[in-house]
Amino acid sequence: MASSEMACVYAALILHDESISITEDKISALVKAANVEVEAFWPSLFAKLLQKVSVDDIVKGMSAAPAAGVAPVAGGAAPDASGAAEEKKEEEPEEEEEDEDMGFGLFD
């Protein structure tokens, strides 16, 4: 995804998170404040899309998408699910590396 698109996505997410209506002008203002140059059509495309579709629906749809599975190799059969489950069980006993304690935690 190009930086222009990403800037508009982040701007739309910021506006949504702050419960501000998502408009072309507001997306453009946020992108400009971030010193990112975007083509003029991107903010209008995102604003028009997000008038029809809820940001919450898009985010929920992304999280509900199935994880990428193992694709079958050409000429071979797809592995069965029971074999994959057994492999995961065998890998679990590995010891976790200890992180250095910097005096603060992620959720402190």
Asked whether the whole model's pTM tops 0.85, one would answer no
C-alpha closest to that of 58 among 41, 43, 42, 46: 46
Q: What is the pLDDT of residues 14-37, one digit of tens each?
A: 998 888 899 999 999 999 999 999
Q: Is residue 50 within 8 Å of 12, Cβ to Cβ? A: yes
Q: What is the pLDDT of residues 35-75, one digit of tens each?
A: 999 998 999 999 998 888 888 878 787 766 565 555 555 55
Q: What does the domain layout of the chain look like in residue ranges?
A: 3-63
Does the domain at 3-63 match CATH 1.10.10.1410? Answer given as yes
Tell me, what's the pLDDT at 26?
A: 93
Distance between alpha carbon 64 and the CA centroid of its chain, in Å? 12
